[in-house]
Amino acid sequence: MRININSPNAQEAFDKAARYCCAEERCRSQVIEKLKQWNVPPEMTDGLLLGLENADFLNENRYAELFVRSKVRQNNWGRHKITYALKAAGVKPDSIRHGLSLLDEQTYLDALNNVVRKAQRLIHESNPALKQKKIVQHAVSKGFETDLILHILHGEN
């Protein structure tokens, strides 16, 4: 949905951006992109972002926390893939570290366990070494650390 603001004033743009941020957590780059779509003048963008942050409509730490939690629980992503996705979204490194630091280790290991067990069921390979290699490759592609994958595979969890 494209909303056109022909000649927006600051309050109208702030109100629209605040509603946009209230619908779900957003990062700065998503809000900036939406402001561009609404034809908000670039000189107004920094002030709007600062206002949204001050009013706590926009909070990258909170965004990173929720992103990390949801990607681990719903998508079974590992730390590497999450970090890459957050960097691609323009989230600051401090916020990424903050989000990852709050990740529950047991939830993370459960997600890795799910990925490994599912791959073990779905990969049909008669050669055990080749099957293990494919399982490791799959789990690495989901963003998990190789040493943790090997611990799970060798029953050291």
> DSSP class of residue 39?
T
Name the maximum alpha-carbon separation found in the chain: 67
- Under 8 Å CB-to-CB from 15, ≥6 apart: which residues? none
| Structure confidence at residue 1 (pLDDT) | 32
152 to 106, 107, 135, 155: CA distances (angstroms): 13, 14, 11, 5
The mean pLDDT value for 149-155 works out to: 91
| Structure confidence at residue 156 (pLDDT) | 53
CA–CA separation, 92 and 145 (whole Å): 22
| Structure confidence at residue 3 (pLDDT) | 36
CA–CA separation, 135 and 128 (whole Å): 10
Q: Tens digit of pLDDT for each residue in 52-74? A: 999 999 999 999 999 999 999 99
| Domain ranges for the chain | 10-54, 60-101, 105-153
| Structure confidence at residue 10 (pLDDT) | 82
| Structure confidence at residue 2 (pLDDT) | 36
pLDDT, averaged across the chain: 91
| Chain position carrying tokens 């779509």 | 37
Q: Tens digit of pLDDT for each residue in 90-111? A: 999 999 999 999 999 999 999 9
CA–CA separation, 76 and 141 (whole Å): 11
Answer whether residue 21 shows pLDDT above 60: yes
